[in-house]
Amino acid sequence: MKDMSAYATHIPILTKIVDMTEGPILELGIGFSTTILHAMCKRNGRELFSYENDLEWHGKYLQYNIANHKVWYTSDWSQIEIDKTRWSVVLIDHRPAIRRHVEALRLKDNADYIILHDSEPEIDRFYKYSRIYKHFKYRYDYTKCLPNTTVVSNFKDLSNL
């Protein structure tokens, strides 16, 4: 079995924030976190919207498409209307890597918590997160696992994380 540890390093901070919040969740990039978010949202009746741009990955997760969890395919991240909803939690973990900072900026005024996977400075050349931090009032770096995860917000103080 493939080692999932590098794909799951954001799970501790993701589940903590989901437990602290109510309201809709947006997931950009389907994967290991999808099954966890699905279970958490199904139990509590929360809305979850998962988007993926890889048809194979999207197909693997269509089984999770139920009333409160919508699994969507997109061929163009710029065309999805994610900035028209107020999100409680957003997980940004999609491909291509260079798009991640773009979606984070699109959501800066529409999300309480934005979780950015793969945020260690050594790989910033791929993700360009350093370009967006100045647009957020609050930032928390979760460095207990590698790859790191950063949480940003303009609405929620992150000192309690």
Give the model confidence (pLDDT) of 2-15 as tens digits: 555 778 999 999 99
pTM for the model stands at 0.96
Mean pLDDT, rounded, for 148-152: 98
Amino acid code (one letter) for 98: I
Quick one: pLDDT at residue 28? 98
CB neighbourhood size of 77 (10 A): 19
Q: Note the helical H segments in 45-138.
A: 55-60, 100-106, 124-127
Mean pLDDT, rounded, for 11-37: 97
Mean residue pLDDT of the chain comes to 95
The pair of three-digit structure tokens given for residue 64, joined into one six-digit string: 């999770």
Is residue 18 pLDDT above 70, yes or no?
A: yes
Confidence of residue 1 (pLDDT cuts 50, 70, 90): very low
Class of domain 1-83+107-123: alpha beta
pLDDT digits (tens, 9 = 90+) for 34-49: 999 999 999 999 999 9
